[in-house]
Amino acid sequence: MEISYWIVAALLAAFYLYAGGKKAAQSQDRLRPMMGWVDTVPMPLVRLIGVLEVLGAVGLILPPLSGIAPWVAIGAAIGLVLIQVGGIAVHVSRGEARLIWLNVVLLATAAALIWLGTTWL
């Protein structure tokens, strides 16, 4: 279980560090080609989502790695599930149901991480 946790956590953290970092740092014009929804969401909210994704990625790795409050990793994974629920809602409300496949994969991966974390941490 421990090896599975670290593999899944590393992949999920890498994705969220990249995607969250882009949302937190790049302009709306630079984000628009990859994320058309940034036109309908205020940029401060886009930035907040990005920061939360980066914090979630850090929360998946650092607490279990340091052994200090490893339960924080489960909370981080729950937070990432909630972010994806919001992402699915935004896509569906914009008539982009065909684009939710990545959100569903990320949601399922974070949910699997919650299960792995509760059995190992």
Q: Could you tell me if residue 69 is left (phi over 0), alpha (psi between -120 and 50 degrees) or otherwise beta?
A: left
pLDDT recorded at residue 69: 94
Q: How far apart are the first and last CA of the chain?
A: 9
What is the pTM for the complete model shown? Answer: 0.94
CA neighbor of 107 nearest in space, from 86, 89, 80: 80
- The answer on pLDDT for 120 being more than 90 is no
pLDDT recorded at residue 1: 83
| 3-state SS record for the chain | CHHHHHHHHHHHHHHHHHHHHHHHHCCHHHHCCCCHHHHCCCHHHHHHHHHHHHHHHHHHHHHHHHCCCCHHHHHHHHHHHHHHHHHHHHHHHCCCHHHCHHHHHHHHHHHHHHHHHHHHC
User: pLDDT per residue over 63-102, tens digit each?
Assistant: 999 999 999 999 999 999 999 999 999 999 999 999 899 9
- Mean pLDDT value across residues 6-27: 97
- The answer on pLDDT for 121 being more than 80 is no
Contact 120, 5 (CB under 8 A): yes
pLDDT recorded at residue 57: 98
User: pLDDT per residue over 21-43, tens digit each?
Assistant: 999 999 999 999 999 999 999 99
